Amino acid sequence: MRLQSISRALWTVVAVAIALLWAFPVYWMFNSSFLPNAVLQSTTPTFLPFGGSLDNFAAVFADGSFASALGISLTVTLTTVVVSLFVAFLAALAISRFKFKGRRSFILAMLLIQMLPAEGMFIAQYKMMSSVGLLNNVVGVSVLYIAAVVPFTIWMLRGFVAGVPAELEEAGMVDGLSRTMAFMRITLPLLAPGFVASGVYAFLQAWNEFTVALVIMTEDQMKTLPLWLRGFVQASATRETDWGMVMAASMMVAVPVIIFFMLVQSKMSSGLVSGAVKG
């Protein structure tokens, strides 16, 4: 028993050490965002932001393009999440609950689409958006994000839908509910963890996406936050790179993700586990 306790304590120490190592870059970004550039360039590292200030954040907000980039990213991300979940849910419901011709081919096509390298479609995507006048347009980049996110989202939600026994709906129908009402009252609430897990995936893909936006959003006033951050670093590089301001800008990009995770973290872990019950 004592040997088991010692082993557990050692594994706990190892786990904590790995967690600290993993979290250190995030802490360093947070710490550096409060420090002036002169301190960051010192040969002696500063591990605590004592004596720091909010000047770097003030400089970020003073950049008029930040608010515009934030609005564009929020609009594109929320549109991608909502539309992707709606479309993926209907598709996942169809392939999990109904048998139809071409069902297996549809599932195989989703897997094959995921194997296509995004870089190989840039030229086609650019020409397609240009032909319909959707370059430098929130709708255009949202359409491309949705197309990229939907296949894997369907695959995720399929596991959740298949994990809810159809017999539950049948029992509700025996009690007098229609098929639609049985689904809405019985099955849909059980899929909440699946929506959360799939929504997290869609959110992260849209919020952090860089290359497609770089190709489609070429005008300065139509940049998403990742593009704005790149331009912010480049603007600093024309003089001396102000790493304090760069870290503050990176924090502002990361904050919405942190808030989103805080709102959904209670459902996310149960969602990831429950989706693996049945394929």
How large is the average pLDDT for residues 266-278?
A: 50
* Assigned token pair, 192: 């909440």
Maximum mean pLDDT: which of 88-102, 134-148, 258-272: 134-148
The full DSSP string for 118-142 is GGGGHHHHHHHHHHTT-TT-HHHHH
pLDDT in tens, 228-248: 888 777 665 556 677 888 888
* Residue 177 CA, distance from chain mean position: 37
Q: What is the chain's mean pLDDT, rounded?
A: 82
The pLDDT of residue 55: 86
Evaluate whether 47 touches 31 at the Cβ level (below 8 Å). Answer: yes
Among the listed ranges 147-161, 193-207, 259-273, which one has the minimum average pLDDT value? 259-273
Evaluate whether 70 touches 221 at the Cβ level (below 8 Å). Answer: no
pLDDT in tens, 144-192: 999 989 988 888 888 888 887 777 777 878 877 787 788 778 778 888 8
Distance CA 223, CA 92 (A): 33
How large is the average pLDDT for residues 99-106?
A: 80
Helix/strand/coil for 96: helix
Distance CA 164, CA 156 (A): 14
CA atoms within 13 A on the CB side of 139: 5
* Assigned token pair, 92: 């996942």
Confidence grade of residue 206 (pLDDT, cut at 50, 70, 90): very high
More confident residue, 232 or 224: 224
pTM of the model: 0.80
pLDDT at 276 over 60: no
The pLDDT of residue 14: 92
